Amino acid sequence: MAQSDSAGGLPAAPAPLATARRHAVLAVALAAAAAAGLLMSDPYAIYLARLCLINIIVVYALNITLGYAGQASISIAAVFAVGAYGSAVATMQYGVPFVLAWPVASLLAGLFGVLAALPTLRLAGAYLAMVSIAFNVVAEQIFIHGGTTTGGPIGLPAIPPIEIAGFSLTDSQALAVIAACSVLAIYCVASFRDSQWGRAAVALRESELAAASLGINTVRLKIALFFASSVMAGLAGGLYAHSVAYISPDIGAILASFVFVLMLILGGAGTLWGPLIGAGLLTLVPHLLSELQKYHLLILGIILLLAVTRMPKGLARPGALLRRRKLSPVQEKQRPAAQTGAVESVLLSPAPGAGSLSAQGISKAFGGVRALSDVSVEITPGMIRGIIGPNGSGKSTLVNVLTGYYTPDAGRVMVGTRDITARPTAEIAQAGIVRTFQTPRLFADLSVQENLMVGGFSRRPGSLAGALLGTAESSAISALAAANAAMLAAAFGLHDALHQKAGDLSQGNQRLLEIARALSASPTILLLDEPAAGLSHEESINLCTVLERLRAGGLGILLIEHHMDVVMRVCDRITVLNRGTLLAEGTPREIRDNAAVQEAYLGSKAAS
């Protein structure tokens, strides 16, 4: 894997670190598992170790969807139970051998998990959590009322042990298998986080809107992540059923889901080591205090209260809440912005013969308010079109219609000869139309470099399986994206901040990063919504230079902006909107001399 060579002299891709981290995981975990397996003879200790390792797998699975991707669907115990019941029923009642029943039941759990996750496509946050709780309750009832198949409220006793190639494993041999599986689970999740899939997942959590604007098909991404996570939880369920030998509906109860969520939150959602810490602590502590068994729930409740109030980001990053609040812009070195690299070199594919973007006769009303009526505008590659107009004149609405956020009441949006009216945002982005937002929507928790890598995901995602297994191909895809990101960062004068979190950048640099990130999705037409807002005079000048270079590289740009010095300097054509209608269209000179524009927009100084 000579992947970092392609980056040349640029800052190294994160790959070497990631590989080192993975090796460390393997070494530590294997050593621990081997020691545990050899030393343990006490059946209770073996039982506890098994439980702990199985919980670790489940919480790592949950970390993919809830931790990294931020999807508050929490019916993980039901998914786990589908894996457990599926494998138990298949072996006991249909005589299917374990080696076949286990993976098939896990695939079933995967499908079940996707079904449970379907509400994520429409809902978010608390509503999603509510729906998944309801789903979990329904699943629990099915296990309870499943008759002889599920054993009803009593469950299924005497499940045969794990059997491989005709040999039934003893308890300590089973423990070794489970340990190996949990090591593999940690390895897979670590590889996943370091892959483009992992970055896309975090992007989804940080801003679904921005992720879609970079061409990420968020529906497909969510389904894939839930499938992977649920298969993993299902595998854990099968291991549980065949090693503990007894399952009951309790294992799939909503309470069990809460405990898994609590383990993740206590340890640190979205961290690599949080699930290990959380699952380990919350499995062992209640059992070690076994005389307090009747206070089990009370103890869990108190731990949850303390965790959420004292260290909301989890044990795996205890300092996080003390040192950094989200709003804090850290002082940065004054950067020699945009003078460093040739920005046009970062236009990955100058899009030969790419179509122009045109809006034809767009109308859009909100309630009684006509935001746009019969507006037409065209942007061709290699031109900068300015859109100006008073506040509330429909400029941002137009961008939202062009990028599919709003469905127009009338009119069409075309790229070349292709009609993209009201298509999903991700599809429009893949057609080369990429936007920025008026208030930057960066992936605040990702580094500058990772923000710039997400844009490459839709073009070259690789397979999710490859990402989980950390294949050479997956690493190579990441390395390529990292090299592109470093080049983009250099072109925008952000190379010193490459490994800083995007949320810690100053306002000015956040705006630059938003433009750079949009470019990382290889647009042919770039839509900029007030990129110079909040920029100082010097920064505005730099922005002009960047825009001019991008135009020279063949990019078409639509520029919404109130800084007239910027607009008049860089635009080839200007469209003026007023109250949702076209007030004027022309060259900067024509617009400047237009009396109607002066009155409606520019103000008294321009008239004098």
Q: Using the minimum distance from each CB to another protein, give the nearer residue, 43 or 336.
A: 336
Q: Give the per-residue contact string, 469-498, with another protein (x = CB under 8 A; - = no).
A: ------------------------------
Q: State the maximum Cα–Cα separation within the chain, in Å, rounded to a whole number.
A: 94
Rounded Cα distance, 370 and 88, in Å: 61
Rounded Cα distance, 73 and 135, in Å: 10
Interface with another protein: number of residues (CB under 8 A): 52
DSSP assignment, residue 558?
E
Under DSSP, is residue 240 helix (H, G, I), strand (E, B) or coil? helix
DSSP E strand stretches across 356-497: 357-366, 369-379, 384-388, 410-415, 418-419, 433-435
> Should residue 209 be labelled a site residue for another protein when binding is judged by CB under 8 A?
no
What amino acid is encoded at 167 in this protein?
F
> Should residue 547 be labelled a site residue for another protein when binding is judged by CB under 8 A?
no
> Should residue 539 be labelled a site residue for another protein when binding is judged by CB under 8 A?
yes
Residues between 495 and 524 that touch another protein (CB under 8 A): 506-509
Token pair belonging to 604: 């008294």
For another protein, the binding residue among 176, 541, 545, 582 (CB under 8 A) is: 541
Under DSSP, is residue 495 helix (H, G, I), strand (E, B) or coil? helix
Q: How far is the CB of 496 from another protein (least distance, A)?
A: 13
Q: Which spans in 526-594 are helix H?
A: 537-552, 564-570, 588-592
Token pair belonging to 443: 């992936």
Q: Using the minimum distance from each CB to another protein, give the nearer residue, 95 or 367.
A: 367
DSSP assignment, residue 156?
B
Q: Using the minimum distance from each CB to another protein, give the nearer residue, 49 or 401.
A: 401
Q: Using the minimum distance from each CB to another protein, give the nearer residue, 287 or 317.
A: 317
What amino acid is encoded at 207 in this protein?
S
> Should residue 390 be labelled a site residue for another protein when binding is judged by CB under 8 A?
yes
> Should residue 407 be labelled a site residue for another protein when binding is judged by CB under 8 A?
no
- Give the Cβ contact number of residue 439 at 10 Å: 10
* Chain-centroid distance, C-alpha 96: 38
Q: Using the minimum distance from each CB to another protein, give the nearer residue, 151 or 389.
A: 389
Q: How far is the CB of 314 from another protein (least distance, A)?
A: 18
Strand 384-388 and strand 573-578: the pairing is parallel
Q: How far is the CB of 73 from another protein (least distance, A)?
A: 25
Q: Give the per-residue contact string, 356-375, with another protein (x = CB under 8 A; - = no).
A: ----------xx-x------
Q: How far is the CB of 392 from another protein (least distance, A)?
A: 4
Q: Using the minimum distance from each CB to another protein, give the nearer residue, 206 or 539.
A: 539
Long-range contacts of 42-51 (CB under 8 A, 24+ apart): 43/171, 46/171, 46/172, 46/175, 47/244, 48/283, 48/284, 48/287, 49/175, 49/179, 50/174, 50/175, 50/178, 50/243, 50/244, 51/244, 51/283, 51/287
Q: How far is the CB of 394 from another protein (least distance, A)?
A: 8
Q: Using the minimum distance from each CB to another protein, give the nearer residue, 257 or 436.
A: 436
Q: Give the per-residue contact string, 425-464, with another protein (x = CB under 8 A; - = no).
A: -------------xx-------------------------
For another protein, the binding residue among 441, 551, 563, 573 (CB under 8 A) is: 563
What amino acid is encoded at 510 in this protein?
Q
> Should residue 419 be labelled a site residue for another protein when binding is judged by CB under 8 A?
no
**455, 433, 437: which is closest to 525 by C-alpha?**
433
Contact predicate 529/557, CB 8 Å: no
Cα torsion 243, 248, 250, 253 to 10°: value is 100
> Should residue 605 be labelled a site residue for another protein when binding is judged by CB under 8 A?
yes
Beginning with the edge strand found earlier in the chain, give each strand of the sheet holding 357-366 in spatial order.
369-379, 357-366, 410-415, 418-419
Contact predicate 247/27, CB 8 Å: no
> Should residue 570 be labelled a site residue for another protein when binding is judged by CB under 8 A?
no
Rounded Cα distance, 382 and 591, in Å: 21
The stretch near another protein (CB under 8 A) out of 131-139, 398-406, 515-523, 600-608 is: 600-608
Q: Using the minimum distance from each CB to another protein, give the nearer residue, 76 or 546.
A: 546
Strand 433-435 and strand 525-529: the pairing is parallel
Rounded Cα distance, 312 and 310, in Å: 6
Token pair belonging to 412: 């069409």
Q: How far is the CB of 601 from another protein (least distance, A)?
A: 6
> Should residue 590 be labelled a site residue for another protein when binding is judged by CB under 8 A?
no
Token pair belonging to 176: 């070794």
For another protein, the binding residue among 148, 331, 339, 417 (CB under 8 A) is: 331
> Should residue 604 be labelled a site residue for another protein when binding is judged by CB under 8 A?
yes
Q: Using the minimum distance from each CB to another protein, give the nearer residue, 275 or 440.
A: 440
For another protein, the binding residue among 473, 562, 581, 586 (CB under 8 A) is: 562
> Should residue 564 be labelled a site residue for another protein when binding is judged by CB under 8 A?
yes
* Interface ranges with another protein (CB under 8 A): 322-325, 328-332, 334, 366-367, 369, 388-393, 395-397, 438-439, 506-509, 530, 533-541, 562-565, 568, 592, 600-606, 608
